[in-house]
């Protein structure tokens, strides 16, 4: 899992409210379907979530499945 500065549409990611990836805080896993940049600060939205997220981490399918089986289906 690698922190991303610039998410791309279609990318499979873990998005989090805070950069520490604490599973107790809000998070979601999905494919990026919207990217916004305001004053060089990126945020994105993923399929299944209406929230704009500021921290994104690239995932493989295996990493995503492991995270979901350990922590559930997301905390939005």
Q: Is the pTM of this model over 0.85?
A: yes
Distance CA 41, CA 6 (A): 9
Q: What confidence tens digit (pLDDT) does each residue in 12-41 have? A: 999 999 999 999 999 999 999 999 999 999
* Residue-range domain boundaries for the chain: 2-71
Q: Output the six-digit token pair for 12.
A: 């499979």
51 CB-contact burial (10 Å; exposed 0-12 / middle 13-18 / buried 19+): middle
Distance CA 40, CA 71 (A): 32
Q: Average pLDDT of 41-67?
A: 95
Distance CA 59, CA 29 (A): 9
**Domain 2-71, what architecture?**
Roll (2.30)
């Amino acid at each position: 899992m690698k922190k991303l500065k610039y998410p791309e549409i279609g990318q499979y990611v873990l998005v989090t409210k805070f950069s520490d990836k604490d599973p107790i805080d809000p998070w979601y896993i999905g494919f990026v379907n919207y990217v916004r940049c305001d004053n060089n600060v990126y945020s994105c939205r993923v399929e299944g979530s209406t929230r704009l997220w500021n921290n994104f981490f690239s995932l493989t399918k295996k990493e995503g499945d492991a995270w979901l089986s350990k922590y559930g289906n997301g905390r939005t």
